[in-house]
Amino acid sequence: MTQSLNTKNALTKNQQLVLNVLNKADMPLSAYSILDGLREFGFKAPLQVYRALNRLIELGKVHRIESMNAFIACEHSLCKVSDMTAFTICDKCEKVSEVKDKELSDYMHLRAEKFGLHAPKTNIEFHGLCSHCSSR
């Protein structure tokens, strides 16, 4: 049983390559930026990247930053796909940080329930200026 579970979550070569590019990046990357970084490995079409990204998102290893139409590697090894994830995004330098906060997660789930919404996967994006950019 454990072996089949590990096989089920094992990454393909393309998924690992995409994840490696995101892990090395210091900012969120678009699918086309990822594709450009992987052409030397035989990637030729955006579909190759999108397939890998979709699976990595399912596994909780990558997040999509909706407002930027870009992707980042998950900063938390125990990130749950069915949990709430928040991001702080600097509007000046575009630095993105992942925030894991149980109180915020619980609050957002309660708010969703109040409005009759079952929202097992919720992403929130906080835009503003990071401490570095606001002090300049």
Kindly report the CATH number assigned to the domain that includes residue 68.
1.10.10.10
Q: Residue 104: what pLDDT?
A: 86
Residues 96, 47, single domain; the answer is no
Count other C-beta atoms under 10 Å from residue 49's C-beta: 25
Any idea what the CATH number is for the domain that residue 120 is in?
A: 3.30.1490.190
- Tell me the C-alpha to C-alpha distance, in Å, between residue 20 and each of 13, 17, 38, 57, 72: 11, 5, 10, 14, 11
Q: Total domain count for the chain?
A: 2
3 pLDDT above the threshold of 60: no
Q: How far apart are CA 41 and CA 45, in angstroms?
A: 12
Name which residue leads in pLDDT, 123 or 71. Answer: 71
Q: H or E segment at 48?
A: helix 46-58
Query: Do 18 and 38 belong together in one domain?
Result: yes
Q: pTM of whole model > 0.85?
A: no
Question: Does 13 share its domain with 55?
Answer: yes
Which pLDDT tens digit goes with each residue over 67-117?
Answer: 999 999 987 765 655 577 889 999 999 999 998 888 888 888 888 899 998
Summarize the confidence of residues 27-39 as an average pLDDT: 96
Q: Which domain holds residue 107?
A: 76-136
